[in-house]
């Protein structure tokens, strides 16, 4: 059975229109969805970004307290 190689998927910043880790070649795969990212550098940058602004990490999970 042949092993499939893990293709790197980078994080794409939709506001700045670039790959988060700085990789700049168009043939690279990228996504705007954090859970699909496999590039370790992008994962670390996403984690640092979340730690710097906690509201980003909880966005979409806001609840109204009555």
Over the stretch 25-66, which tens digit does the pLDDT of each residue have?
776 899 999 999 999 999 999 999 888 876 544 444 444 444
Confidence of residue 15 (pLDDT cuts 50, 70, 90): very high
**pLDDT at residue 57, as a whole number:** 45
pLDDT of residue 63: 43
Helix (H) or strand (E) holding 10: strand 9-13
Average pLDDT (9-30) is 88
Whether the CB-CB separation of 36 and 46 falls below 8 Å is answered with: no
| Beta partners for residue 11, in sequence order | 31
Judge if pTM exceeds 0.75.
Answer: no
């Amino acid at each position: 059975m042949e092993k499939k190689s893990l293709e790197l998927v980078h994080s794409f910043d939709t506001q700045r229109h670039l790959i988060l880790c700085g990789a700049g070649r168009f043939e690279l795969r990228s996504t705007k969805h954090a859970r699909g990212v496999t590039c370790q550098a992008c994962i670390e940058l996403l984690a640092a970004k979340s730690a710097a602004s906690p509201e980003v990490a909880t966005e979409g999970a806001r609840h109204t307290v009555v």
